Amino acid sequence: MKNNLNIIIEKDKYGFYAYCPELKGCQSQGETFEETMENIKEAIELYIETLSSVELAEILDKEIYTTNIEVPVA
């Protein structure tokens, strides 16, 4: 079974940082975007292995929305 999960990736001067909002504490990092994507995918797969079927079903039932909002910056 395959499902889509959300990934947030942030870039800073040290590289890339990624986390999955649905899976509290599931995060990874890398020097490149591609490395970070591979690392977070592995982290998610390992995280899911630790969940019961009930916990996994609850997580997959969540809906997370992302958008942008414009705010004034002084």
**pLDDT tens digits, one per residue of 27-49:** 999 999 999 999 999 999 999 99
Q: Does residue 17 lie in a domain region?
A: yes
**pLDDT of 1 strictly over 90:** no
The pLDDT, as a whole number, for residue 49 is: 95
We report the CATH number of the domain holding residue 48 as 3.30.160
Q: Is residue 48 part of a domain?
A: yes
Query: Could you list the residue range(s) of the whole structural domain that residue 55 is in?
Result: 8-61
How many residues can be counted in the chain?
74
Residue 15 lies in a domain: yes
- Within a domain: 12: yes
Mean of the pLDDT values across residues 46-71? 92
Which of 9, 65, 66, 61 has its CA nearest to residue 33?
9
How many domains are there within the chain? 1
Mean of the per-residue pLDDT values for the chain?
Answer: 94
Instruction: Read off the pLDDT band of 26 (50, 70, 90).
Output: very high
Identify the burial level of 45 via C-beta atoms within 10 angstroms of its C-beta, where 0-12 means exposed, 13-18 middle and 19 or more buried.
Answer: exposed
